[in-house]
Amino acid sequence: MCSFLLSRGFVFITYEVLSLKKLLQIDTQAIHQEKLKSYVYIRTTSVNPSDYQGITYHARKEIHKAVRKILETEAKIFRRPFNEQFSTFDGEDHECALWLLLKRSQSEDKEVRLQAVQDLANNSHWHDYQYGTVAQTCDQRTAIGLARSKDIDLRFFLPPPPLPKIKNDYPIEDELRLLLVSLPQTGLDPCVQYFTSLALRESSQTLAAQRGGLWCFGGNGLPYCETLSKIPSETVELFCLQALVQHSKVSSHCDKIEAKGGLQLLQRIYQLRKDSAKIQRNIIRIIGNMALDERLHSSIVRAGWVSVLAEVMKSPHVIQSSHASRALANLDRDTVKEKYPDGVYVLHPQYRSSQPIRADILFVHGLLGAAFKTWRQQDIDRRLDKKASEGEEDYSQCWPKTWLASDCPALRIISVEYDTHLSDWKAKCPVEAHRKSIAYRSNELLDKLRAAGIGDRPLVWVSHSMGGLLVKKMLVDASKNPEMDKIVNNTRGIIFYSVPHHGSQLAEYSINARYLLFPSVEVKELSKGTLTLLPFNSRDLC
């Protein structure tokens, strides 16, 4: 009877203890949202108590410590390097792997460093806190390497840091104008001056009149003839960003943009204009231009752009992802020795790869073309083709990137871009017509292509329309310049698509109607019998 009462009492006490423990247990869901906002990730323990309690666990830990001490002593006695895999020998297995990879990713040995970054990128089964640990601990070089790894988990990156509040509640467009005005205003490239004046243009009721003082450019008041106050804010921002794109092509101006908080301002606009592909594309283009200057890399990383670029790299839109790829390639000085100036885009490989590059394929578009749209698959009229929707997933926005890269992965595929127009009525930058000539574009592109490493490998050109004439002009110019002769010597072939080697009849029609159409310099140079084309054909290049 006594034993029965004792057993009942023991059961009752056990029940009460368990009930009390349940009541005192903290619901972690209550602080889950706060945890997501935090940059500090607390290391978690196993949910199985047997993994971290008991004599076996503690004995194993003590043995591990003893073994590590013995190995350290042995290394000192025999003056041998201590194997770093034992530096965390008494830790948990999965924690050892994480910290070991982090340490190796900062090794002075480049091969060890690159392999460690690749091993980190291959981990897709970690807990959130482990990704967070890497995000907080890795250095700048490792973060950039992870961003350039294929199929990377975005949890490897910290979100952009909180942005400072806007002073005096200025609208974003006003902040952009203030940034533009703070940049150098004398001795500028005419196109930079044109885009800046366009962005700052106001009516007589300008911000200057409202705040006092005269908004000027180059020392003179701007001839304001129309107001931007009635234009949507997004359009004004786009004008300002186009001007910043031009400024970002000048290295000294990039320093000013960074010093004036431009990286943070661009981050704010990027987050606010998620629905505007044009604005985001211009912003990433600016970052790509600024990344050409290695002195600004730390500032770009601190401003949170690595995580943004890693996310854009996953975009299904080839233009967006290619802009991000160019920016990251300019940031990555560990595996990329080339630099990609504005208008030079790598279509493949866009990620880090251990496969050696055997040759370069360079695509040059023609009149009214572009680096991406010229090389898209044939457009489909969905009204006529009932199967269009079925094959939409197979449609290629840029077949060199989609098809050629798949068939020939050992190639580096590059596409260049330059502005062209049929008429000067719609020219983006109407100043200095000689800049639109084939001769000027040839010199400009040659400098950019050499910076991108064109000429260091066997090279094949693929050109369309006026792009073919531009290719021939570049080869003629390169043959006369000892610094560029690599491009000529390594050229293995040229593919011409619809190139008017002897001029175009359609261009001649435009010249006849020049007072109505106001044909551009490009169109004039395509006329039959023009002196511009004769030197190309006399050098046996066509």
232-253 burial code (b ≥16 CB/10 A, e <16): eebebbbbbbbbbbbbbbbeeb
Q: Are 413 and 372 in contact (CB under 8 A)?
A: no
Q: Which of 519, 536, 523, 527 is nearest to 367 (CA)?
A: 523
Separation of alpha carbons 460 and 494, rounded Å: 6
Other CB atoms within 10 A of residue 382 CB: 11
pLDDT at 216: 39
Structure tokens at 461: 């050109």
Q: Which of 422, 420, 456 is nearest to 438 (CA)?
A: 420
Cis peptide before 349 (omega within 30 of 0): yes
DSSP string computed for 117-146:
HHHHHT--S--HHHHHHHHHH--HHHHHHH
pLDDT in tens, the chain (542 residues): 556 555 655 555 665 656 656 655 655 555 555 555 555 554 544 445 455 455 665 666 677 667 767 777 777 776 666 555 544 444 455 567 888 899 999 999 999 999 999 999 998 888 899 999 999 999 999 999 999 999 999 999 999 998 877 666 668 888 899 999 999 887 777 888 888 887 877 433 344 444 443 343 333 334 443 444 456 788 889 989 999 999 999 999 999 999 999 999 999 999 999 999 999 999 999 999 999 999 999 999 999 999 999 999 999 999 999 999 999 999 999 999 999 999 999 999 999 998 999 999 999 999 889 999 999 987 766 545 555 555 556 788 899 999 999 999 999 999 999 988 665 555 567 666 667 789 999 999 999 999 999 999 999 999 999 999 999 999 999 999 999 999 999 999 999 999 988 777 655 545 554 544 556 677 677 766 554 555 556 555 54
pLDDT at 18: 62
6-37 burial code (b ≥16 CB/10 A, e <16): eeeeeeeeeeeeeeeeeeeeeeeeeeeeeeee
How does DSSP classify residue 326?
Answer: H
Q: Are 290 and 258 in contact (CB under 8 A)?
A: yes
Q: Are 270 and 287 in contact (CB under 8 A)?
A: no
Separation of alpha carbons 336 and 537, rounded Å: 37
Give the tens place of pLDDT for each residue, 368-408: 899 999 999 877 665 455 555 555 567 888 999 999 999 99
Separation of alpha carbons 126 and 132, rounded Å: 10
How does DSSP classify residue 205?
Answer: S
Q: Which CATH class is domain 337-376+396-424+435-542?
A: alpha beta
Taking 3-state DSSP, the helix, strand and coil percentages for the chain, each rounded to the nearest 5, stand at 55, 5, 40
The pairing of beta strand 359-364 with beta strand 459-464: parallel
Amino acid, single-letter form, for residue 352: R
How does DSSP classify residue 203?
Answer: -
* From-to residues of CATH 3.40.50.1820 in the chain: 337-376+396-424+435-542
Beta-strand runs (E) in 325-458: 344-348, 359-364, 411-416
pLDDT at 74: 72
89-109 burial code (b ≥16 CB/10 A, e <16): bbeeeeebbbbbbbbbbeeee
Q: Are 283 and 269 in contact (CB under 8 A)?
A: yes
Q: Record the pTM.
A: 0.78
DSSP string computed for 430-491:
-S-GGGGSHHHHHHHHHHHHHHTTTTSS-EEEEEETHHHHHHHHHHHHHHT-TTTHHHHHTE
pLDDT at 229: 46
Give the tens place of pLDDT for each residue, 467-508: 999 999 999 999 999 999 999 999 999 999 999 887 776 555
Q: Are 491 and 359 in contact (CB under 8 A)?
A: no
